[in-house]
Structure 1
Amino acid sequence: MNALIKQIAVAVALVAPVAAFAQSNQPVTRAQVRADLVRLEQAGYNPLDWLHYPENIQAAEQRVSAQEGAAQSNTSGYGPAVQGASQSGSAATDSAVSTYSPPVYQHN
């Protein structure tokens, strides 16, 4: 009897982590895709502009997420989402770049 209880306990211990990571991946409906496209078009995305494809859809997605973030921040008590950036160093200018390159292997 004790062996059976131990086997059940081991089985439960092995199955529990798998159940914790289970997700419901429901497929997206056609109506949801169309609604997303309408939102992107309202934010300035033009699906016929193939010359600027990655840039214009990314910009429209940022605008949509900013609008949704602003709408959520009005209803929640946490405030708006903050997107920060940091840069280090200074920009290289033409006068700061040297054209001199010393010889690498010079034997006498």
Structure 2
Amino acid sequence: MTSIPRLILGALTLCCAASAFAQPQTPTDPNAPKTRAQVRQDYLQWRAAGYDPNDWLNYPDNAIRASRIVAQREAQGNANVH
């Protein structure tokens, strides 16, 4: 009879370990804080869209332009998913 409780205990331990190592789900809340990887990805997208953080003379314009380009690319990417 001692092997059945050990088997159940082993199964519970395996389930707990599997849930501990499971991949975290991406947050769907837009107000949720971003991870470093997400912030870096956003920065790289803005740089690819032409944003230059060292261009102070054209600051608001180049940031707005890059923001629009990134938004368009994301909209196109989301449209292709569906």
Tell me the percent identity.
43
Q: More helix per residue: 1 or 2?
A: 2
Change (3 A) 1:24 1:50: closer
CA-CA distance at 1:71 after TM superposition = 1.4
CA-CA distance at 1:51 after TM superposition = 0.9
CA displacement 1:27-59 (0-9 Å, x = unmatched): 222221111111000010001001111110110
Residues 41-56 of structure 1 aligned to structure 2 (within 5 Å)? 41-56=47-62
What SS class does the counterpart of residue 52 from structure 2 fall into?
coil
Corresponding residue pairs, total: 54
Amino acid at match of 2:38: Q
1:35 alignment partner, one of 33, 36, 41: 41
Change (3 A) 1:70 1:47: same
- After TM superposition, the score normalised by the length of structure 2 is 0.57
Backbone CA RMSD of aligned residues: 1.9
Q: Which structure has the higher relative contact order (CA within 8 Å, separation 6+)?
A: 2
